[in-house]
Amino acid sequence: MSDQEKPSYAKGLEGVIAGETSISKVDGEAGQLYYRGYPIAELAENKSYEEVVYLLINGELPDTEQSILFSAKMRNARDLSEPILQMIRNFPRGSHPMELLQSVIAYLSAYVEHRIHHGPHCNCRDTLHQVAQLASVIAAYHRISQGLEYVPPRRNLSHGANFLYMLRGEEPSPEEGRIMDTALVLHADHSFNASTFTARVIASTQSTCYSSISGAIGALYGSLHGGANEKVVDMVEEIGSASAVEPWLDHALASGRKIMGMGHRVYRAKDPRAVIMEGFLEKLSEQTGDRHYYDILKALETSMARRMAEKGKPIYPNVDFFSGAIYRLLGIPKGLFTPIFAMSRAAGWLAHILEQRVDNRLYRPKALYTGPEPRHIT
């Protein structure tokens, strides 16, 4: 085979275009993110998570009537059946909630009448269990694991506010509910990341959306994909105070340690979601009177920016840099950070699964063989 005939190779599919999508666009150079053409900042400011879910899976923002009907459909799908609650109660103590989520999604599939058409399909736009019930499962898991009673969902609260209500057993303030709902908007999709690509690969086999989302949850569970905001909070707690940032950073950089929440595989500017999250963290810090996280993170961002600029290697915060601190101020334990990522991203996963089905082609990349040449047993 000549050099011209050899297929191109990029480890980890770095820079390889593996498909087309009209769902979200990441402009890494400009530091912009768009859902269906809408800037993320505009959506975060003006639209609820439910409206953004509609946008992602249907292609356009809902009008007033569509928004009312769709919100009602999502809210009516929040309730957990007794078999699901029993599964949560019986799940092994000490297991990670991501393992529970992956199992629950597969279990939910057994309660849905799948439509067989060139493979098992369900009417994903009508059920919405995959999106609506993940929040209920996470909240139920937390309360049951803490020896508390399950709190049924309420239909008069936004998706984010209802999650906090089910988690804490008391209604959040309007501002807390809005911040939580907007955090879900910011995490709802991000083009062909590892978990989304996993969902599309599974969908390309004509498997169900439940199987595809279960696989995506498994990908997100990996430490190189989900969990970064949890590590940021660990880092902040290790630093201890804003005055300790400089000596801590001296030691961390000298030892080659990765600074969690800084830098991104795609963005070459400040993550637009981080800009919004920073504003929320500042507001929550003022309202709660607890500036511990905010002061340390801002000192860390400033010091890193100065040091990296001196080296000609600018680096900026990503969405994980501020999100974990926000969740902590909302009373959410660190172990739920990645599950919250999943419950938000389920909307994007579902949108990509539906898009994959429109003009499907089974994913079947080639592998570069590096084993021994043909040989025989002697």
pLDDT of residue 146: 94
**168 in the same domain as 204:** yes
**255 in the same domain as 193:** no
The tens digit of pLDDT for each residue in 277-296 reads: 999 999 999 999 999 999 99
> What CATH number is given to the structural domain containing 261?
1.10.230.10
Mean pLDDT of the chain: 92
pLDDT of residue 114: 62
In percent, the amount of the chain with pLDDT more than 70 equals: 94
The total of other beta-carbon atoms located within 10 Å of residue 249's CB is 18
Q: List all residues 6 or more positions away from 219 whose beta carbon is below 8 Å from its beta carbon.
A: 194, 195, 197, 198, 225
**88 in the same domain as 175:** yes
Q: Angle 292-310/272-288 helices, nearest 10 degrees?
A: 140
Domain enclosing residue 313, as ranges: 228-329
* Residue 17 counted as domain residue: no
Decide: 252 and 307 in contact? Cβ < 8 Å: no
**260 in the same domain as 179:** no
Residue ending a domain, choose from 288, 314, 329: 329
Question: What's the whole-number mean pLDDT along residues 128-147?
Answer: 93
Say if residue 120's pLDDT is above 60.
no
pLDDT of residue 191: 93
From the list 129, 187, 264, 352, the catalytic residue is 264
Query: What's the chain's length in residues?
Result: 378
> What CATH number is given to the structural domain containing 43?
1.10.580.10
* Residue 19 counted as domain residue: no
**275 in the same domain as 259:** yes
264 included as an active-site residue:
yes
* Residue 274 counted as domain residue: yes
Reduced 3-state DSSP string for 281-327: HHHHHHHHCCCHHHHHHHHHHHHHHHHHHHCCCCCCECCHHHHHHHH
**307 in the same domain as 182:** no
**203 in the same domain as 81:** yes
Q: List all residues 6 or more positions away from 57 whose beta carbon is below 8 Å from its beta carbon.
A: 124, 125, 347, 350, 351, 354
pLDDT of residue 77: 92
**346 in the same domain as 322:** no
Q: List all residues 6 or more positions away from 26 whose beta carbon is below 8 Å from its beta carbon.
A: 32, 33, 190, 191, 266, 267
- Cβ-in-10-Å burial (0-12, 13-18, 19+) of 67 comes to middle
- The SS3 assignment for 121 reads strand
* Residue 7 counted as domain residue: no
320 included as an active-site residue:
yes
From the list 190, 271, 320, 352, the catalytic residue is 320
Decide: 149 and 143 in contact? Cβ < 8 Å: yes
Question: What's the whole-number mean pLDDT along residues 5-30?
Answer: 86
* Residue 342 counted as domain residue: yes
Alpha-carbon 166 to chain mean position: 20
**184 in the same domain as 290:** no
Say if residue 183's pLDDT is above 60.
yes
Query: Is the pTM value of this prediction over 0.85?
Result: yes
**247 in the same domain as 147:** no
**309 in the same domain as 168:** no
* Residue 135 counted as domain residue: yes
Name the residue with higher pLDDT: 4 or 273: 273
Residue ending a domain, choose from 311, 329, 347: 329
**173 in the same domain as 50:** yes
Counted domains in the chain: 2
* Residue 373 counted as domain residue: no
Q: What are residue 34's phi and psi, to 5 degrees?
A: -125, 135
* Residue 157 counted as domain residue: yes
